Structure 1
Amino acid sequence: MRKVLLALLCVSMLLVPSVPALAADAVKLKFSHAAPRTSTWHQGAEKFAEIVRERTQGKFDFTIYPLDELSGGNQVAGIDLVQTGVTDVHLQDALVWSAVAKKSVVPCFPWLLPTYEDVDRCMKGEGGASLKQVLNEAGVVCLAIGENGYRQVVNNRNAIVQPSDMKGLKIRVPGSNVHVSLLKYIGADPITMNQSEVYTSLQQGTIDACENTLDLLFTQKTLEVVKHISLWNYSYDPLYLSVSKELWESLSDEEKAVFQAAADEAMAHQVAVTREKEAALRGQLGEYKIEVVDSLTPEQVKAFREATTKVYEDYRQEFGEDLFKKFGHAF
């Protein structure tokens, strides 16, 4: 019996892929992102680090810092750290990046990319290439694009299926000028505040509503203090995986190829698990005492699009018609 167990152990060890040990003089790198360790952002970061370590025989040793720990939780400051080379690798969403590189917010415009088919077509084509260039011009090297997902709306006043349902609604929004403007055009009263204040503000009635991805609505327990949710897919939010120019310029051509391939594969993995998680979370909405609008009809989407048309005109000249065209919008 002992011989049989030893034989099985040897076979099992052969079947488990070996991860290269870190080199004695491994290059230590800092990878920062803004989400919790339980997020798909973190899964993408871990996948990237794993691939690079494996394909460089342990030359690079990554420490991953979630929740923008290196910048004290300040997400915009987190971008500054990768721009200046304090952080080596960085993962952040378009809404935050728009404070630094304004055009990076284009894919988040209202109902611009209403389905994942639209997302994949644009992100894997000229649209995605243009976004990478926007970030490159901001002083980093953008290697790949991941996914935060569609932002949904929750509130304590009424079901939302048409623009009039938003009139006077006090809604917390991220610090994006585009989102402040478009919600005003619908008739809402957008308010910017730190995410950490949202739960209590909804609970106490300081605000009526907020919007976020399903993942964050669940993990931040927002669904405990709201009565309505509308899955309206009004704004798609991509993630940008970038490295500092200082790090990039220190890599050999062979290492650059490894980092690029690792970024592509890691973000493909992150997108896949994000969509799987979203599908699972939709099925868990019944666990909360909330009214669910699980989708909008084409006619309802059209009404919201017409109400927010002006936000496209507001940025038509600043961002350029050509960039919008790469995401399917024609003026």
Structure 2
Amino acid sequence: MKKKLSILLVLALVLFAHISVVSAAQFKDEYKLSVVVGPGFPWGAGAEKFVELVEDRTAGKVKIKPYFGGKLFAGKQTNEFAMLQQGQIDMAISSTINWSSQVKELNVFSLPFMYQGYDEIDAIYNGKTGAYILNLLEEKGVKAFGWGENGFREITNSKRPITSPDDLKGLRVRVVGTPIFFDTYNALGARPISMPWGSAINGFKQGVVDGQENPLLGVEIPVEIWNYHSYITLWHYLFDPLVIGINKEVWDSFDSKTQEIIEKSAEEALEYEQMLARMGLDDGTALNYLKENNEEKLFSFEDPIKFIESKGMNVSILSSEQYQAFKDKTQPVRDKWRKIIGEELYQILLEDLEKK
């Protein structure tokens, strides 16, 4: 009897050891998370929140290391999606703009002068358009969760206030190096230039680059754009969302419980990031969220527009008539890119916008 019990005990120990090894083997020592910016940006703070939530909720079994400043793709942001697909990167929190070269449908968010407020953006996130994009990314090998955001992209420059298309004529503007940005600025009579951010800063200092476009809280305030430019126009000319993407093979390697934890953590981190990017620019919802949840605000101020004015910036906010002039001027760009993103997606977008 004792011999039989001993055999059973040995078998049980072997089985337990096997289960433990399998359980431990399902996780890598480290999961690489690509982040374009640093932790001092809403985008970077969202990445830190995601890492913290996942590690805490998995008791440290899923260790995610954020690589800030685009270290994993060596300065070539448009390579990030392909590297994620191929498994060279495990995870990324990224702008849809950076992936739009590989996934043309992501240019739907960059249609110029298509969106004016957060109610429209939320209708897209929560509607068929948002679901369409997330499903499309999964079909292409990246499990994606939405939505965070950089925000509406605004233009700054060192020359003059911009309140009409004529004000842009001849201005040398640093833009994202994707075709829809070049089409937009060419249509407005500007001279779009694509260059890395470090080179752009030198260009501003040397006077060979006149302006740039980026989200106010997402980029312009963190980089202290007032050190280079005196004029900003809050024209909301396009929107810049963020998603958390995970290589599909990496995602499939997680058990269902871990997947549930990661999904919940991604959603919470992106909501927090979104509130940081909207703070003081919406109807007060973002600031209330941060206060009620005792979340780090990242910024010391509560009114970003007053803050940049205190730094000496001249702020222009377009009237509806001024906005329409820019919209009319860029109609050919929207017509062209409507065909590129596909009529099906474009019609879904219009349906969502009608529901705002």
TM-score, length basis structure 2:
0.81
Pair 1:307-2:307 in alignment:
no
TM superposition shift of 1:310:
0.6
TM superposition shift of 1:257:
1.9
For 1:315 and 1:235, how far apart are their aligned partners in 2? 13
TM superposition shift of 1:277:
6.7
For 1:188 and 1:74, how far apart are their aligned partners in 2? 25
TM superposition shift of 1:63:
1.1
Aligned to 1:282: 305
Secondary structure of the 1:36 match is coil
Q: Identical aligned pairs, as a percentage?
A: 29
Secondary structure of the 1:57 match is coil
Aligned to 1:268: 271
The superposition leaves residues 166-217 of structure 1 with CA deviations (integer Å, 9 ceiling, x where unpaired) of: 1122111111211110111111111111111112212222122111111322
For 1:155 and 1:57, how far apart are their aligned partners in 2? 48
For 1:54 and 1:218, how far apart are their aligned partners in 2? 31
- Which residue of 119, 123, 135 corresponds with 1:121? 123
Aligned to 1:10: none
Q: Is the 8 A contact 1:167 1:187 kept in 2?
A: yes
Pair 1:316-2:316 in alignment:
no
Aligned to 1:291: 314
Structure 1 stretch displaced more, 193-202 or 300-309:
193-202
Q: Is the 8 A contact 2:174 2:195 kept in 1?
A: yes
Give the partner amino acid of 1:231: L
For 1:201 and 1:35, how far apart are their aligned partners in 2? 20
TM superposition shift of 1:243:
0.2
Give the partner amino acid of 1:230: T
Give the partner amino acid of 2:341: F
TM superposition shift of 1:227:
2.4
Structure exhibiting the larger radius of gyration computed from Cα positions: 2
TM superposition shift of 1:24:
8.3
Aligned to 2:166: 164
Q: Is the 8 A contact 2:154 2:214 kept in 1?
A: yes
Q: Is the 8 A contact 1:141 1:244 kept in 2?
A: yes
Structure 1 stretch displaced more, 77-86 or 241-250:
77-86
Aligned to 2:146: 144
Q: Is the 8 A contact 2:39 2:48 kept in 1?
A: no
Structure 1 stretch displaced more, 117-126 or 209-218:
209-218
TM superposition shift of 1:290:
2.8
Pair 1:106-2:128 in alignment:
no
For 2:267 and 2:339, how far apart are their aligned partners in 1? 32
TM superposition shift of 1:35:
0.8
Secondary structure of the 1:60 match is coil
Structure 1 stretch displaced more, 213-222 or 158-167:
213-222
TM superposition shift of 1:238:
0.5
For 1:242 and 1:78, how far apart are their aligned partners in 2? 11
Q: Is the 8 A contact 2:84 2:142 kept in 1?
A: yes
For 2:261 and 2:24, how far apart are their aligned partners in 1? 20
Change (3 A) 1:277 1:246: farther
Q: Is the 8 A contact 1:169 1:208 kept in 2?
A: yes
For 2:53 and 2:143, how far apart are their aligned partners in 1? 19
Q: Is the 8 A contact 1:199 1:222 kept in 2?
A: no
For 1:78 and 1:71, how far apart are their aligned partners in 2? 6
TM superposition shift of 1:81:
2.5
The superposition leaves residues 96-144 of structure 1 with CA deviations (integer Å, 9 ceiling, x where unpaired) of: 1112212112112112221011111111111111111232233211122
Q: Is the 8 A contact 1:53 1:60 kept in 2?
A: yes
Q: Is the 8 A contact 2:80 2:98 kept in 1?
A: no
- Which residue of 321, 328, 331 corresponds with 2:350? 328
For 1:119 and 1:285, how far apart are their aligned partners in 2? 24
For 1:280 and 1:66, how far apart are their aligned partners in 2? 27
- Which residue of 254, 257, 260 corresponds with 1:254? 257
Aligned residues: 307
> What residue ranges of structure 1 are gaps of 5+ in the alignment?
1-22
Give the partner amino acid of 1:245: K
For 1:296 and 1:328, how far apart are their aligned partners in 2? 24
Give the partner amino acid of 1:265: E
Structure 1 stretch displaced more, 28-37 or 132-141:
132-141
The aligned runs of 1:187-266 (5 Å cut-off) are: 187-215=189-217, 216-266=219-269
Change (3 A) 1:315 1:282: same
TM superposition shift of 1:226:
1.5
Structure 1 moving runs of 4+ over 6 Å: 23-26
Q: Is the 8 A contact 1:111 1:305 kept in 2?
A: yes
Q: Is the 8 A contact 1:107 1:327 kept in 2?
A: no
